[in-house]
Amino acid sequence: MTTPGPTAFEVIPAIDVLGGRVVRLARGEYSQATEYAHDPAEVARRWADEGARRLHVVDLEGARSGQVDLDLWTAVATTGVSVQAGGGIRTAAVARAVVAAGAERVAMGTAAVWDPQALAGLGDRVVAAVDVRAGSATGAGWLDGGRDLGEVLDGLAAAGVARLLVTGISRDGMLTGPDFALTESLAGDPRFRVIASGGVSNLADLERLAALGCEGAVVGRALYERRFTMGAALGLFR
C-alpha cells in the first residue's frame, strides 16, 4: 500500500457501507439511507482511478453494533489506495487487527468519547472521530447521549491523540455546508490536526475549510451526486 505524502489539503471520498452496499445517511439516521452502489471495493477503485489518495471507509453496522467486519477492510485494501477505516473499532486490539487487515489508519469514535486512553499508543495510525451534536461528542454510531465536547478534547489530548475527524452531525449528508463554526473552533486548537466532515456541498466549502487550517475533508454525497468531480476538487489544491 502507498501511504500518501504531505499535501496542502486532502480531499477524501467517503465510502459508507451498510448491508454490504454503499450508502449515505442523512444526519446519521439509519432509516434515511440512500444507496449508491452494491460493491464497496468497486467504488474504492473508482475513486482511486479519479485520483483519490485516501478513502474514508465506514462500516455503519459495525458502528451501531460494535462488531467489526475485517473482510470489508481486506476487500477495500486490495485496491491499493490508503484507507482510513471506521465503524465499531473500540479497542486498541481491534484497531491493530483492522490495520493488519489492510487499513492505513483507523477512526475511533465511541472510544474517543468514553475511553480516550484506548487510543493512546496508536500514534499516527489513529484519528479520533469527534461527532458533535448540540455541544456533545457522541459515540455508538451517534446513538448514545454523548459527552461534553471540552471534556472529550481534554481526554484525547491527555492520551496523546494528535488528529481529529470532526463532524457536525446536523449537517452530515444534507448538502447544506459544513458546520464551519465548530470546525474553526477545533482547527484553531493547537493540540490537534483536523480533518473536516459532514455537509460539504461545493468546491467553495472545500476552499473555506482549507483556509480554516484543516488538513483535509471527507466528502460523500456531493461526490456521489456529482455536485463536483474528484478531479475538480483535487485541482484546487495542486
Catalytic sites, residue numbers: 16, 131
User: How do strand 193-197 and strand 216-219 relate by DSSP bridges?
Assistant: parallel
Q: Let me know if 180 is exposed, middle or buried by CB neighbors in 10 A (0-12, 13-18, 19+).
A: middle
3-state secondary structure of 129: strand
Alpha carbon of residue 226 to chain centroid: 20
Q: Distance (Å, rounded) from C-alpha 166 to C-alpha 129? A: 6
Residue identified by cell 475538480 is: 232
